[in-house]
Structures are given as C-alpha cells and as structure tokens.
Structure 1
Amino acid sequence: MTTTLVPSQKQTPLLFEALTWREFKAVEQLLDRPGYRLSFLEGTLEIRQMPGEPHETVKKRIAALLELYLLLRGFDFTPTGSMSLESESGLVKREADESYKLAPGRAHPDLAIEVVFTSGGINKLEAYRRLKIAEVWFWEDGVLEIYHLRGEGDQRRYEKLTNSEAVPGIDLELFLRCINMVNHVEAVKTFQQAIQK
C-alpha cells in the first residue's frame, strides 16, 4: 500500500510594499543570510523563512523524477536549481524551487517549479511572466498545475494546461503519483520502471 506525503501547516510570508528597486537591493544586502528567501515584484518585497523538510522532500523528489525522465528521453538539459532570476526593468526578482534549461544555449530557464507550502505573498505567475519563463509547474497539496506562456511582449499571459509543452510526453498522472509517495526510492523505481516500458 502506498501512502502519500502530507503537507505541513502553511506559513504566510512577510510583505513590505511601496519599495523602489534600489531600496529592495539595499534590503537584500542587509538580509543576505541563511534562513531567508527574498522575492520582489513591482514595489512589493516578500520575505519567507527557508522551507522545512516536507518542502525540501517534495522539491527533491520532483527534481529526481524529472531529471530521470529528461535523461531517459534524450533532452540536453541543464538543471539550474533555485538560481536567482531578476530583471530591474521588470521590477522583479524570484528564485524558483527548481528550474531547468531544456536545450543548450538558453539565456534563462525554460521551466520553473514551485513547491507551495505557504499562503499569500507576491503573484508568482506574474513574476515569472516578467522573467519570460516559458513554463511554470506548481505542486500544492498533492496537486500539480502547469502553466505555459503564450503571446508576445506585454500581451504574454500564462495558460493553464493539462499536459506539459516544455516536457512533451511526460505522463503527469504517473509523475504526480510518484511525487506523492512517501518512500523516495520506491517512488523513483516505480517511475523508472513505468517510463522504460
């Protein structure tokens, strides 16, 4: 019998509004210490405590399964983890939980993944839209939602999808079932056996 991961109680980040980009960068330098993660979107600073074990377990599970799939399907990918993504002109800074360049020569990641154990905060999709991230996956409470960027320039908007366009062919039902399994080794083996059939 397979049981699933249970999310812990959600935390709410601290929000500070009406900051300039310059003020944000000054605060960022002051709070450059372990234990905090800062995001910024058009004047709003979000400060979150670093996530705990349940968050990290789900994040690493998603990474392990996705990287296995990308490797076995022949993607020439580069994991970029939680690298800082920012744009002064877009007034945005964000760190995904995981991110990937899905082909060589990319200037920024094609895919960002968010594992949500918090409530409230800045609009993450708007932040990724300004950063021009083609696809964003959100895992929250055992559910996976996928958004793909459509349009050009200021008309760009995310469309919610049932299948990934950035990672074509991935069986999201199987992927999600394996993400939510309690035992990591069992989850990876189950996923690997299924995609190698």
Structure 2
Amino acid sequence: MSSPIVTQPPLIDSEQRVLLHGVDWHQYESLLGVLGDNFPTLRMSYLEGTLEIMTNSPEHEELKKVIGMLIEAYLQETRTRFHAGGSTTFRQAAKKRGLEPDECYCLGAKKEFPDLAIEVVITSGLVNKLEIYQGLGVREVWQWQSGQFSIYHLRSTGYELVEASELLSALDLKLLASYVKPEEQFDAVMAFRETLRRR
C-alpha cells in the first residue's frame, strides 16, 4: 500500500517560511486545493508569481485568536453589524494576488473582499502583504507587532499609516491592545466587555 502524498506535519514552535518564484496562477490555485484543508496552519501569500508559504506557530495562532475575539466583542457591544471571515483565502486572478488573513471582517453586509484584515507579525515576511491587500481593495489592515497595533488605511495612492482606525473610529486601540493576553483569553475578553459597558 502506497504512502499518502499529503501527511499531517508535526507541531512546531516557531514560524517557518519558504519563498517560491515563477509560480503561475494555476499552480498557486492547485497548491491551495491540495494544501488548504490538510494543513490548516499553513498560510500562502501570492504576489505576481512569487509565493510565500508560512507555517504559523502556536504563539501566532493564540494571538490572532484572542485579537479576533476582542474585536468581535467590541463589534457586538457597540451593535456594529459585521460578518467574520476568519482565515478565508481571498484571491484576484486579474491582479495576480491572493492570501489568507489571520482574521478579517466585513462591516455591515457580507462582501466579496473584507473591509478589515488583521495580521499578526512575529517574524518578518518575505512578501509584501500590503501590496496584496491593496490589489484586493481591502480598506484597512491592522498589524499586531511587539505589543501594539499599526493601522494602514487604503488611499488612492496606497496604504497610509494612520493613528486611529477610520473604519472603527471610536475604538481606543491602546485599550484594545492592553487586553491582548493570549495566555488568559477568556478573562481578557470578559474584562474588555465589562470595560466597554462602563464607558
């Protein structure tokens, strides 16, 4: 009996990245089809023939999860309608771009591409994800790195680093950041909800 082509990878403690050049769109889509369901911690970022494949670490997964829960708590407490997309693969053949955000949200109704994408940055990427997001028309990208958020809002000329979110202008990002505690997710989210209710 032959061995399966795809096997489950061992659990690793750090992020690992591979960069491939000269990958055409059909090859990218084929890899998505083969790897997508079998390797849930893999992230693929495709930009005009260059493909980065990254394996997320447990730290990365825990951070993205608690950030997502906090954002959803804020949207629920403020009665802001949203559609959560998680790490759905978004791609645009005409622009030769595709990726899976760590978390993403459409505000209001569900759309083809999200309004807001969240990226946890632990190690430097090999592909410029902002270029990919720009090609997909994602209005705002929040990067979490070294204990704080950096907010990039899409303008006609590209992304601009801004002080506060223009999509969720009432959200205090420093307050949000203070509750990003992956080791105590439940308590952090409940405490954040209580703080929001008192404000």
Normalising by the smaller structure, the TM-score range is 0.7 to 0.9
Alpha carbons of structure 1 residues 26 and 64: separation in structure 2 relative to 1, 3 Å: closer
For 1:19, which of 18, 23, 48 is the aligned residue? 23
Write out per-residue CA displacement over residues 13-41 of structure 1, whole angstroms, 9 at most, x where no aligned residue: 10011222123233434444325332210
The secondary structure found in structure 2 opposite 1:191 is: helix
Alpha carbons of structure 1 residues 29 and 184: separation in structure 2 relative to 1, 3 Å: closer
Aligned runs of 1:29-108 on 2, under 5 Å?
A: 29-32=33-36, 33-34=38-39, 35-49=41-55, 51-108=56-113
Write out per-residue CA displacement over residues 83-134 of structure 1, whole angstroms, 9 at most, x where no aligned residue: 1100001101110010001111533210000112232321010010001000
What's the Cα RMSD here? 2.0
Alpha carbons of structure 1 residues 53 and 27: separation in structure 2 relative to 1, 3 Å: closer
TM-score where L is the length of structure 1: 0.86
Shift of 1:10: 5.8
State the partner residue of 2:169.
168
Do the aligned partners of 2:62 and 2:182 also contact (CA within 8 Å) in 1? no
Q: Within 2, Cα distance between the matches of 1:52 and 1:69?
A: 26
Do the aligned partners of 1:62 and 1:179 also contact (CA within 8 Å) in 2? yes
Q: Within 1, Cα distance between the matches of 2:96 and 2:22?
A: 12
Aligned runs of 1:112-191 on 2, under 5 Å?
A: 112-151=117-156, 155=157, 157-180=158-181, 182-191=183-192
Runs of 5+ in structure 1 lacking a partner? Answer: 1-7
Q: Within 2, Cα distance between the matches of 1:99 and 1:25?
A: 21
The secondary structure found in structure 2 opposite 1:86 is: strand
TM-score where L is the length of structure 2: 0.85
Do the aligned partners of 1:137 and 1:147 also contact (CA within 8 Å) in 2? yes
**Equivalent AA in structure 1 for residue 128 of structure 2:** N
Write out per-residue CA displacement over residues 130-187 of structure 1, whole angstroms, 9 at most, x where no aligned residue: 0100000011121211100011xxx4x0011111111120111110010146422331
Q: Across the two proteins, how many residue pairs are aligned to each other?
A: 185
State the partner residue of 2:8.
none
**Equivalent AA in structure 1 for residue 115 of structure 2:** D
Do the aligned partners of 2:142 and 2:151 also contact (CA within 8 Å) in 1? yes
Do the aligned partners of 2:13 and 2:58 also contact (CA within 8 Å) in 1? no
**Equivalent AA in structure 1 for residue 20 of structure 2:** F
Q: Within 1, Cα distance between the matches of 2:141 and 2:18?
A: 23
Do the aligned partners of 1:12 and 1:119 also contact (CA within 8 Å) in 2? no
The secondary structure found in structure 2 opposite 1:13 is: strand
**Equivalent AA in structure 2 for residue 52 of structure 1:** S
Q: Within 1, Cα distance between the matches of 2:160 and 2:92?
A: 22
**Equivalent AA in structure 2 for residue 183 of structure 1:** E
Alpha carbons of structure 1 residues 65 and 31: separation in structure 2 relative to 1, 3 Å: closer
**Equivalent AA in structure 2 for residue 45 of structure 1:** L
